[in-house]
Amino acid sequence: MAGLVRKSFTEPDEIRPFQADKGRMELVELGPGSVGRATFEPGWRWSDHVKPIAGTDSCQASHAAYVISGRMHVVMDDGEEAEFGPGDCMICPPGHDAWVLGDTPCVMIDWQGATNYAKG
């Protein structure tokens, strides 16, 4: 078994920018996987700012995340939808679009879907 591991988002292992400078995914590698801190700027929408990178019709990442700040609206391919804000935990299966609500960046920690998110 490995010993203690300490990583910090102040020095991420990788940064993946979104299209049109609408945010980024910062990753820290923790051995069995990555943890991501995503910053989605006001005006960000998956179908506009990540779809060109992902090359899929909807987001195919599965997210388990915690929202630190801002608000996000998610619509599943089947029409189910929800809004998430500060303090919310989210499970979001593949097959969705999402966008930032309001004028505050949406910042969240994603410990499931970050490894391949916005990876060209």
Query: What pLDDT does 96 receive?
Result: 98
Integer distance in angstroms from the first to the last C-alpha of the chain? 33
pTM of the model: 0.94
Categorize the per-residue pLDDT at 2 as very low, low, confident or very high, splitting at 50, 70 and 90.
low
Query: What pLDDT does 33 receive?
Result: 85
**HSE on the CB side for 63, CA within 13 Å?**
25
Closest by CA position to 72, among listed 60, 93, 86, 61: 86
pLDDT in tens, 10-65: 999 999 999 999 999 999 999 888 999 999 999 999 999 999 999 999 999 999 99
